[in-house]
Amino acid sequence: MEVVVNGQIKQVVDGISVQELLDQFQIKPIRVAVERNREIVPRKQFSATPLAAGDQIEIVTFVGGG
């Protein structure tokens, strides 16, 4: 199925969880926050949150800034 991750269309396995999506991109969950369709997914819920086709996912982290 198709989902949009950080503005890019990505093909993922049907029913993939947020945690599995992060694993696929080799992203450590402790360093990011995730939004699914504008709703924050708490880190504790990453494994228990499956994605649906067409979901808009944002994965953000901290970067240098002032």
List residues binding other proteins (CB under 8 A).
Answer: 5-8, 10, 25-28, 30-33, 35, 38, 40, 42-44, 58-66
User: Whole-number minimum distance, CB 29 to other proteins, in Å?
Assistant: 10
Nearer residue to other proteins within complex by CB, 15 or 31: 31
Nearer residue to other proteins within complex by CB, 6 or 47: 6
Using an 8 Å Cβ cutoff, are 5 and 59 in contact?
yes
Query: CA-CA distance, 20 to 49, in Å (whole number)?
Result: 10
Tell me the CB-side half-sphere exposure of residue 6, using CA atoms within 13 A.
Answer: 9
Rounded to whole angstroms, the maximal C-alpha distance in the chain is: 40
Nearer residue to other proteins within complex by CB, 25 or 53: 25
